[in-house]
Amino acid sequence: MSNTPDRRTFTKRTLVTLSHALERTALAAAEDGPMVVLALFQRAPYFARERQVYDRIAVRAAATVVCMVADEPPAAGTGTHVVLLHPDEEAAREWTVVVLTPRFGAVLNAYDREQVDGSAATLEAGRLFDGWWSLRRDDALHEVLRLRSMLGDRLAPDALAALDGAVAYVRDLPAGTGERRADAAVRFLLEQVERDSARLARRQAAAADRPVVSGPAEVGRWSGSGGVTASGTLPVALLGVRVPAAQQLPEQTGRRAGMLRNEGLLGVLGPLLRDADRMTRLDDDTFLLMLPALSADDAVKLAHRVGADLLAASARDTFTPATAHTVVTVTRQRPFPVDHIRQALSWAERQGIPVATLNGD
């Protein structure tokens, strides 16, 4: 029996690579069955991306079980057993892949921290997880037993029978004596790749002047619309900021005045952002701050600080607006509810409310 490796922090980008590697082991030709494969995907869109892979795995495995949060069971190939998770249960935050045969085992288990690495190119790629992985058969066996206990009677009878039969077969045979060597080699290779990737990401982040997204279209790309994303995962605080139009400011008319006003506004907003945060200009008078994993209370405090800092900056620079209307919400929706932010800002302007909150999800 081996000891479970220490947990560490992974980005989603690394977990995708590890998951694909484990799935390749399930697809490799080998006469060491029966094989069982279990995977927790968090949300249905993540499974949809990998469905064809799991259709192929199901042809080879005695039991293939996939689990996720979904309104209804997604389409899956013959032999794939789908278990629906409740959004509030702990398993809904797990990312797990386990492959087990009598002679081989591989496991990846990670738990969503609901935080993000600010150096990542997109919100999805930078999502952070605490987890561990192993290429030792007994680690995979223990993980299969844990999942079987957790899923309980939600597994179909034929899936349970296949799972229990395979586990009984595994227990009758000793683990391979050389698997620790393979595990150590692969672990070293992955650590080297991660180290090189982190070094490149730090250089790219250092080259950026400030965390500003260029426009509304880029908001979608950064938040995941250009790839695979899902509602219900990482919470993001959104803070809409609307300042008076340039012509409404005393003695500040013309294109140059508007540019100076925006420079002053960016000078106030930019220093408030963390490495993981992003900001974009939605229109001439409206900016959106996107703040991953920031609580609703902290986002409201930040909104009030925006107002205070603008007032102080306007005393030093007449082009910087002294007032602004802000709207705060925390959302797990993808794409972000930007239109709701705009509507709420218009309402706050009409009501003369400096800081308004919008119900999140």
Distance separating alpha carbons of residues 36 and 170, to the nearest angstrom: 11
Provide the pLDDT for residue 254.
Answer: 53
Least confident of 211-220, 235-244, 346-355: 211-220
DSSP string, 26-66: HHS--S----EEEEEEEEHHHHHHHHHHHHHHHHH-SEEEE
Here the tokens at position 118 are 């600010």
Q: Measure the CA–CA gap between 324 and 36, rounded to whole angstroms.
A: 58
Alpha helices per DSSP H over the chain: 12-27, 44-60, 137-151, 157-171, 179-207, 216-223, 255-269, 296-316, 338-351
Return d(Cα 20, Cα 27) in angstroms, integer. 11
Burial class (CB in 10 A: 0-12, 13-18, 19+), 344: buried
**pLDDT category, 134, cuts 50, 70, 90?**
very high
SS3 280: strand
Confidence (pLDDT) at 283: 87
Over the chain, what is the mean pLDDT?
A: 87
C-alpha 179/C-alpha 200 separation (Å) is 32
Over residues 236-245, the mean pLDDT reads: 92
Counting residues of the chain whose pLDDT is more than 90, the rounded percentage is 58
**Cα(72)–Cα(82) distance, rounded to whole angstroms?**
10
How many C-beta neighbours within 10 Å does residue 158 have?
11
Q: Where are the domains of the chain?
A: 8-205, 216-357
Domain 216-357 belongs in CATH node 3.30.470.10: no
CA of 226: how far to CAs of 173, 280, 282, in Å? 46, 17, 19
Q: Give 153 or 110, the one with higher predicted confidence.
A: 110
Which residue has better confidence, 313 or 217? Answer: 313
Across 61-76, average pLDDT: 94
Query: Which pLDDT band holds residue 4 (cuts at 50, 70, 90)?
Result: low
Inter-residue contact 22 to 14 (CB < 8 Å): no
Look up the pTM and report it. 0.85
pLDDT at 90 over 90: yes
Minimal CA–CA distance to 35: which of 66, 65, 60, 56?
60
What CATH number belongs to 8-205? 3.30.870
In the predicted structure, residue 114 carries a pLDDT above the cut 90? yes
Across 331-347, average pLDDT: 94
177 band by pLDDT with thresholds 50, 70 and 90: low
What pLDDT score does 210 carry?
47
Q: What is the pLDDT of residues 264-300, one digit of tens each?
A: 888 899 999 998 899 998 888 899 999 999 999 999 9
Contacts 24+ apart (CB under 8 A), 22-25: 22/97, 22/98, 22/99, 22/106, 22/107, 22/108, 22/133, 23/50, 23/53, 23/54, 23/57, 23/97, 23/99, 25/99, 25/104, 25/106
